[in-house]
Structure 1
Amino acid sequence: MTAFDHELLQAAQRGDTATVRLALDAGADVEARDGDGRTPLLLAALADHVGTARLLLAAGADPNAQDDQDDSPWLVTGVTGSVAMMRLLLPHGPDLRLRNRYGGVSLIPAAERGHVAYVRAVLDETDIDVDHVNRLGWTALLEAVILGDGGRAHQQIVELLLAAGATPDLPDGDGVTPLRHAERRGFEEIAALLRRAAR
């Protein structure tokens, strides 16, 4: 790695767009990798530095470049919940089928973490697979129930997923349905949504 590559990575992580531009002009590699295999675009996406990411994309940065943990700029938008970053990356051809280290697509961590605006946007603006099953045997709907807190955000996410065509009774790897998980956890509002959807 050159000194300019190192400077580029640090500037991208800080959101220092001016220094990013200078480093690129000096010959830094837009796909340089840090010690964890992260590119400048991934570092910018993780910190939600939209302006910096815009410059990196204009320089040809790859929205699908995965690091040592299988994170990519596109995948981490589901973790951060950044709709602005998601919309910035969309025209640059992110692979919606790309999987994180758990075998999930970006919708799944967004559903788990209660990122309502992101879930709404990614369902409305992409053809992401609403019933994608990760290595744990869980869909976005299952994660919203199993790992959510049952509160208003997760209720809204369940509503959005069901409205987008999520299969309400698709069970986990042990054969347990989202409704049964909701009942076990005492999430009555979510259980009611799932019962209505299953009729």
Structure 2
Amino acid sequence: MKQRQQKKLSRRLSEATSAGDTARVKAVLRAGADPERENGDGTTPLYLASVQGEAEVARLLLQAGARPDTESRGIGAEGTPLCAAACWGHTETVRELLARGADPNLREDGGTGWSPLDWADNGPHPETVELLIAAGAVLRARPAQPRLA
């Protein structure tokens, strides 16, 4: 697929994901959008769906091949999808990511930042904390200054 067409599909996927529009997400993915491709700001579609708590959109992206542990590099949208969902207590999205293999102990910033459990505990989001612990997350000493998810 041509670079220009992939860029256009990526923009459409980002827009549909931002809107939580599952029908449009499905259509753009069927048209050949890469579920791993970052938008112009460097944000992955799965991170965007996760931070907004769009569990069904996250499911579609994961089914289309998005990797659950890919770290987003977008400005103001850095981090892993699981950290983003845990930060805001989006338990259904957390469940979906864990079911698709997200690592409950994976720290952001290439392993030096906060873990999903750190974010959920800081929330505080007790239901999300319980879910992550049940999935094997371990609370460790967290780095001092978190970034906002």
TM-score when normalising by structure 1: 0.63
Q: Aligned to 1:50, which of 50, 55, 64?
A: 55
Offset of 1:90 from its aligned partner?
1.0
Q: Quick check: 2:98–2:104 contact (8 Å CA) kept in 1?
A: no
The alignment status of 1:107 with 2:117, answered yes or no, reads: yes
- SS of alignment partner, residue 74 of structure 1: helix
Decide which structure has the larger Cα Rg and report it. Answer: 1
Which amino acid is the alignment partner of residue 44 of structure 2?
T
Q: Quick check: 2:13–2:28 contact (8 Å CA) kept in 1?
A: yes
| CA offset digits 1:67-103 (Å, max 9, x no partner) | 1264111111221111111111112111223212461
Note closer, same or farther for the CA distance 1:116–1:97 as it changes in structure 2 (3 Å cut). Answer: closer
Q: Which runs of 4+ in 1 moved over 4 A?
A: none
| CA offset digits 1:102-157 (Å, max 9, x no partner) | 6111111211121111112212x211112x222229xxxxxxxxxxxxxxxxxxxx
1:74 — aligned with what? 82
| CA offset digits 1:132-189 (Å, max 9, x no partner) | 222229xxxxxxxxxxxxxxxxxxxxxxxxxxxxxxxxxxxxxxxxxxxxxxxxxxxx
Offset of 1:41 from its aligned partner?
1.1
2:126 — aligned with what? 116
Give the length in aligned residue pairs.
Answer: 136
Aligned equivalents of 1:66, 1:37: Cα separation in 2: 10
Offset of 1:56 from its aligned partner?
1.0
Which amino acid is the alignment partner of residue 135 of structure 1?
P
2:66 — aligned with what? 61
Higher alpha-carbon deviation: 54-63 or 67-76: 67-76
Q: Quick check: 2:13–2:29 contact (8 Å CA) kept in 1?
A: yes
Consecutive unaligned residues of structure 1, counting only runs of 5 or more, are 138-199
The alignment status of 1:8 with 2:13, answered yes or no, reads: yes
Q: Quick check: 2:16–2:22 contact (8 Å CA) kept in 1?
A: yes
Which amino acid is the alignment partner of residue 66 of structure 2?
A
Aligned equivalents of 2:137, 2:55: Cα separation in 1: 22
Aligned equivalents of 1:18, 1:112: Cα separation in 2: 34
Consecutive unaligned residues of structure 2, counting only runs of 5 or more, are 1-5
Q: CA RMSD in A?
A: 2.0
Q: Quick check: 1:37–1:66 contact (8 Å CA) kept in 2?
A: no
- Larger strand share, 1 or 2: 2
1:149 — aligned with what? none
1:30 — aligned with what? 35
TM-score when normalising by structure 2: 0.82
Aligned equivalents of 1:32, 1:38: Cα separation in 2: 8
